[in-house]
């Protein structure tokens, strides 16, 4: 066993490897295995197995009773991974765009990626790898042919975004919005703005540039002091656009001087308008041809239970079960209510990580739902169990599925939404 304490030495091993993995189940021959540990797992226990499976090296932070020069001991595997990611980032001389926000960041990331990829070699966060492990793994996936990188940053407490910025070193950034998400960790809505605002703080201190949705006054205020701010919105900015139609798919019209005809997206929900405008604004800023911008957005199809429109038998189903918080819930419900459709059914799962405000927020959502007319409303799990409501309630999505399958709905329109842990997609069977 050898001790490598210098990131530069690890970097030479990285350059000769295929990729970095933290899960032996995803390991390929020639990968470097980083033996991460946590409260309920210890990657060091799998270091030897990783070598047997073909890993070129295993990075560990505990002594192992094995003599093998391919076992590389560091002080802390996670810090070594993050330091390696920063070292790699320092070798990249490309635009790195960081994205954070309470709602819409993944959809926005995907739209920006599809626009920039139509013109440039672009690397981006895969899936939801947007945390203290995912961000460095994303950075280390960027190869020398890269012309752009897009890094999604998720957070549920203060100083988290600031930490990501230290090794992602973005020179461009955007905050989609600051809503009622992770209130427990952030300590309320003001805490959310402070936490998400750490991205803008980094850009201010490092001569960065920001893309800002001008409809949200607080984002405009938060961006004051940044070297260059590129705005987009429905009323003012370098790019101005509005909803042309939204039934059920969103069609966006831009100001005539933008020379782009209406963009017919495959996105459901008027709340996706800022996401589309952001992708167009960034595409135009980086000189992507208008025709490529339009085609890229129009051919993008959402997946992973993010505002997906599913046509099943005679029913139309909006599946938006990847995540939920009070802000995104109200936006989705309001949009669903506005659609020109009959026989509307709501299947709503509980919202998580709301701390002491959880009961209040669930009750307020009940009141919001009650302002509209529905054929049926079904509530599932979470703190819906502890609020007053006149609707049907089930403890789990499995219980709700049994009810749903027994209804034999025909020519109905359904919205299914809830926090990830509720697994609301299970309802569809």
123 and 47 in one domain?
no
262 and 360 in one domain?
no
- Domain-located, residue 30: yes
Task: Say what the pLDDT of residue 342 is.
Answer: 93
Q: Which of 251, 281, 299 is the last residue of a domain?
A: 299
176 and 40 in one domain?
no
d(CA 248, CA 261): 19
Q: Which of 249, 266, 299 is the last residue of a domain?
A: 299
Task: Say what the pLDDT of residue 321 is.
Answer: 87
Structural domain of residue 62, as residue ranges?
2-76
- Domain-located, residue 87: no
pLDDT digits (tens, 9 = 90+) for 319-358: 988 888 999 999 999 999 999 999 999 999 999 989 889 9
How large is the C-alpha radius of gyration of the chain? 23
pLDDT digits (tens, 9 = 90+) for 233-280: 999 999 999 999 998 899 999 997 778 999 999 999 999 999 999 999
The domain tally of the chain equals 3
Confidence of residue 365 (pLDDT cuts 50, 70, 90): very high
The CATH number linked to 32 is 3.40.1390.10
152 and 283 in one domain?
yes
Any bridge partners for residue 318, and if so which? 309, 415
115 and 64 in one domain?
no
The CATH number linked to 121 is 3.40.1190.10
221 and 328 in one domain?
no
Q: Which of 280, 299, 318 is the last residue of a domain?
A: 299
Output the pTM of the full model: 0.89
The CATH number linked to 319 is 3.90.190.20
Helices 160-168/77-91 angle, 10° precision: 50
Please say if the pLDDT value at position 1 is more than 60: no
pLDDT digits (tens, 9 = 90+) for 84-94: 999 999 999 99
Please say if the pLDDT value at position 229 is more than 80: yes
Task: Say what the pLDDT of residue 157 is.
Answer: 79
SS3 381: coil
SS3 341: coil
Question: How is residue 261 written in tokens?
Answer: 């005809």
289 and 219 in one domain?
yes
156 and 281 in one domain?
yes
328 and 255 in one domain?
no
Task: Say what the pLDDT of residue 185 is.
Answer: 66
How many C-beta atoms lie closer than 10 Å to residue 69's C-beta? 8
Average pLDDT of the chain is 93
57 and 104 in one domain?
no
Q: How many CA atoms lie within 13 A of 75 on its CB side?
A: 6
pLDDT digits (tens, 9 = 90+) for 317-327: 999 888 889 99
- Domain-located, residue 416: yes
Task: Say what the pLDDT of residue 184 is.
Answer: 65
- Domain-located, residue 399: yes
290 and 155 in one domain?
yes
pLDDT digits (tens, 9 = 90+) for 3-43: 555 899 999 999 999 899 999 999 999 999 999 998 889 99
Task: Say what the pLDDT of residue 429 is.
Answer: 79
330 and 255 in one domain?
no
Confidence of residue 182 (pLDDT cuts 50, 70, 90): low
Q: Angle at the Cα of 153 (from 364 to 208), degrees rounded to 5?
A: 115
Task: Say what the pLDDT of residue 189 is.
Answer: 79
d(CA 427, CA 105): 25
């Amino acid at each position: 066993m050898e001790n490598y304490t210098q990131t530069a030495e690890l970097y030479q091993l990285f350059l000769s490897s295929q990729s970095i993995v933290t899960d032996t189940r995803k390991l390929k021959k020639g990968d470097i295995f980083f033996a991460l540990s946590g409260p309920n797992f210890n990657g060091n226990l799998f270091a030897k197995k990783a070598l047997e499976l073909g890993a070129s090296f295993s990075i560990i932070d505990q002594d192992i009773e094995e003599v093998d020069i391919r076992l590389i001991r560091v002080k802390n595997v996670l810090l070594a991974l993050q330091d390696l990611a920063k070292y790699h980032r320092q070798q990249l001389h490309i635009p790195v765009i960081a994205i954070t926000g309470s709602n819409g960041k993944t959809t926005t990331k995907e739209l920006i990626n599809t626009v920039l990829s139509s013109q440039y070699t672009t690397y981006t966060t895969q899936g939801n790898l947007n945390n203290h492990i995912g961000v460095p793994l994303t950075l280390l996936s960027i190869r020398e042919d890269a012309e752009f990188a897009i890094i999604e940053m998720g957070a549920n407490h203060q100083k988290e975004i600031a930490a990501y910025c230290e090794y992602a070193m973005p020179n461009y950034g955007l905050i989609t919005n600051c809503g009622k998400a992770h209130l427990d960790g952030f300590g309320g809505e003001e805490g959310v703005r402070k936490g998400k605002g750490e991205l803008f703080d980094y850009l201010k201190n490092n001569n960065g540039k920001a893309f800002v949705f001008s409809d949200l006054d607080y984002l405009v205020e938060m961006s004051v002091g940044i070297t260059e701010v590129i705005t987009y919105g429905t009323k003012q900015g370098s790019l101005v656009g509005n909803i042309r139609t939204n039934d059920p798919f969103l069609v966006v019209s831009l100001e005539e001087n933008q020379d782009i005809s209406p963009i017919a997206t495959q996105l459901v929900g008027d709340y996706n308008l800022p996401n589309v405008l952001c992708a167009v604004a960034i595409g135009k800023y980086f000189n992507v041809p208008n025709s490529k911008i339009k085609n890229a957005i129009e051919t993008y199809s959402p997946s992973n239970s993010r505002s997906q429109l599913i046509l099943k038998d005679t029913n139309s189903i909006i599946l938006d079960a990847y995540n939920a918080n009070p802000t995104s819930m109200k936006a989705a419900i309001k949009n669903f209510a506005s659609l020109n459709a009959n026989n509307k059914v709501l299947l709503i799962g509980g919202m998580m990580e709301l701390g002491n405000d959880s009961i209040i927020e669930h009750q307020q959502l009940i009141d919001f739902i009650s302002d509209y007319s529905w054929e049926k409303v079904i509530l599932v799990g979470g703190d819906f169990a502890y609020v007053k409501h006149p609707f049907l309630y089930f403890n789990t999505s499995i219980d709700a599925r049994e009810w749903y399958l027994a209804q034999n709905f025909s020519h109905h329109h359904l919205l299914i939404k809830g926090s990830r842990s509720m697994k609301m997609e299970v309802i569809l069977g």
